[in-house]
Each structure stands twice: as structure tokens, then as C-alpha cells.
Amino acid sequence: MDIGKAFTFVFDDERWVTKVLIGGLVGLIPFVGQFLVQGYMLEVARNVVQEAARPLPEWDDWGTKIVRGLMAAIISFVYGLPLLLLACIILFPAMLIGSAMSNGGGDGGGAIVTLATLCFALIAFIYGLAMMLVVPAALVRYAVTDDFMAALAFGEIFGLVRSHLGAFLMAWLAALIAGLIAPLGAIACGIGALFTAFYAQTVIGHAYGQAYLTATGGAAGQPIAYELPS
């Protein structure tokens, strides 16, 4: 993997200024804009996996981008469902028991709720860490296959991440750095944050694509080196 490439590939495209400007403005569109940007990010990841010479997509076929962005949100929600179910299993009964004990004059109700909350918080923290690696793999799998159910092949996705943990950790680190870059545009100009935030999404898409490409054995797992058309 070449994580540095995730931060520089945008500038290899001769139309990068126009594409980034459009991306920043698209982010202003209520509701739909975020799906568009997410769909664009997935197209970046797909292009990286397919080793496109210029991974930065054109701003065409907005309908497809919106659908992909919406599917990305649904996939992320599905992977987050276990936490919601766990909250119902742990927190809700604990609150009922705690309330009943308190109403009965007992002193242990608050302790039960506190203990249940701490247990849930610990499990949620561990699960959240795992999802930061697993969900990107699922999203890129969807982007590459254009198959929603492929992203929900939980055994395959978890196995892919487990066997190539280093690649997805590097992608997560790149995403973390990109997240720190996103608000920097506000320093120079308040509206500039729109464009640095969009740029950050392209970095994330490229990093996720690299991790998936490495994990699936693309390019024999070697670092990505793009040859720009003359």
C-alpha cells in the first residue's frame, strides 16, 4: 500500500480543481448532497480497486451516486444494528429492574443501572473499534460488486479484514488524518471547509480502495503506482 498516494492522487487529475469545487458545493445540498458525496467516495474506492489510471471520477450520473450513497448509509446502519439490539438486551431490562427496586425502597437500583451502562459502554467501544475496520471493507465490496447483499456477507467480510488487518489499519489511519484535514479550510476561509471536507472524502475513498485491493490480492498486493496517460 501507498498511503501517501491517497493524499496526492487528486492532484494527478487535470480537472481536479473543477471536481473538488463541484464536490464542495454538492455538499451544501440538503439531505441528497451527503448521499452524493458518499456515492462519489465509493466510486473513488472502486476505481482504485480496478486500478484506473485516474481514480477521481467525473461528476456524471448523479442518480447512481445518490443510490450508492444511500446504500452505504443502509450498510453502515445494518452493521450498527447489533449495538442497538444489545442496548435493548442490557440497558432496557436493567432500567426496568433498577426502577422497580428504587420504587420498592431498595438501594441497589442505581448500582444495577450503572453497572449495565458500564458493561454496554465497554462492549460498544470494542465493537466500534472493530466496525471502523469492517464497515469500510463492506462498503468497498458493495462499490466493486454493485451488489448490496455482497456487503452483508459477514463471514467473508470479517475474514477479509482479519487476514489483512494491517492494510485496513493503515486505511483507518489515513481516514483519521483526513478527518483532521477536513476542517482546515475554515482557517483560510470559512467556506473553504466545504472543499477540504470533500477532499478528505476522496482521501478516505482512495485509502479504503487500496486496503481492499491489497486484501483481495489485486496487483499481487504490491503498492499502487498509477501511470498517467500521455
Residue 39, C-beta contacts closer than 8 angstroms, at least 6 positions apart: 64, 65, 66, 67, 68, 69, 70, 72
91-135 pLDDT, tens digit each: 777 777 767 666 655 556 667 777 878 888 898 899 999 999 999
> What pLDDT, on a 0 to 100 scale, did the predictor assign at position 64?
94
Which helix (DSSP H) or strand (DSSP E) does residue 81 occupy? helix 62-103
Please report the DSSP string for 141-169 in residue order: HHHHH--GGGGG-HHHHHHHHHHTHHHHH
173-198 pLDDT, tens digit each: 999 999 888 777 656 555 667 888 99
**Residue 215 contacts residue 168 (beta carbons within 8 Å):** yes
> What pLDDT, on a 0 to 100 scale, did the predictor assign at position 229?
42
**Residue 206 contacts residue 48 (beta carbons within 8 Å):** yes
Give the mean pLDDT of the chain: 86
What mean pLDDT is predicted for residues 48-72? Answer: 93
What pTM, to 2 d.p., does this model score?
0.84
Question: How large a percentage of the chain has pLDDT more than 70?
Answer: 85
**Residue 27 contacts residue 194 (beta carbons within 8 Å):** yes
Q: What CA–CA distance (Å, rounded) separates 56 from 49?
A: 12
Dihedral sign, CA of 189, 194, 197, 201?
negative
> What pLDDT, on a 0 to 100 scale, did the predictor assign at position 226?
42
- For residue 78, give the nearest of 14, 151, 132 by alpha carbon: 151
